[in-house]
Structure 1
Amino acid sequence: MAAAGSSCSLVLSLYKTMLRESQKFSSYSYRTFALRRIREAFQENKNETNPEMIQELIEKAKSTTEIIRRQVLIGHLYTAQKLIIEGQ
């Protein structure tokens, strides 16, 4: 049971980290896509009970977080004008 609790807190931490990192995208389109996709992926897998599958999903989330961080960094190197929808 303790493993389930630590797994739950790890998943929640990963979710928050992914959302926080996705907020850093300078491009509105990338930012909204990433946020929507993260929410959908976690929602799709919220009832997963297989420990092996949960571990696989956690590893995938960690990998995706690193990809998001790299893409944010690259996005900041090549900034563009903000869209009208983003406001001033």
Structure 2
Amino acid sequence: MAASRGKVISLYKSILKECNKFNTYNYRTYAVRRTRDAFREHKNETDPSVISKLVTKAESNLEMVKRQVLIGQMYGEGNLVIENMAKTV
């Protein structure tokens, strides 16, 4: 059974939301960019079996991002200069 459009969009938003929880600016921007690129790359996919595999992969990536965010919060670093500048502007 192929995933519904709503489920894919929900999964996309969930991954982006988790990616934005990274404390480190570089990880955060990389994860958001990779997520957007991956979903855009496959946006015209019509084969139900391929879509199902992609959704399964995205779900496992979501779980991985959640774990990485948690680890990052446990062993966090200070903000980068670019992050401090954005808060003062």
TM-score, normalised with respect to structure 1: 0.92
State the match for 2:59 in structure 1.
62
5+ unaligned residues in a row in structure 1: which ranges?
none
RMSD: 1.3
Kindly report which structure 2 residues correspond to 1:71-86, keeping only aligned pairs within 5 A, or say none: 71-86=68-83
Shift of 1:7: 1.1
Q: Verify: 1:7 aligned to 2:26, yes or no.
A: no
Cα offsets for 1:16-73 (capped at 9, x unmatched): 0000000000011100000000000000000000000000000000000000000000
Identical-residue share of aligned pairs (%): 51
Kindly report which structure 2 residues correspond to 1:39-50, keeping only aligned pairs within 5 A, or say none: 39-50=36-47
Name the count of aligned residue pairs.
85
Kindly report which structure 2 residues correspond to 1:7-26, keeping only aligned pairs within 5 A, or say none: 7-26=4-23
5+ unaligned residues in a row in structure 2: which ranges?
none
- The AA in structure 2 aligned to 1:60 is K
What CA distance in whole angstroms lies between the structure 1 residues aligned with 2:77 and 2:13? 27
**3-state SS of paired residue (1:19):** helix
**3-state SS of paired residue (2:4):** helix
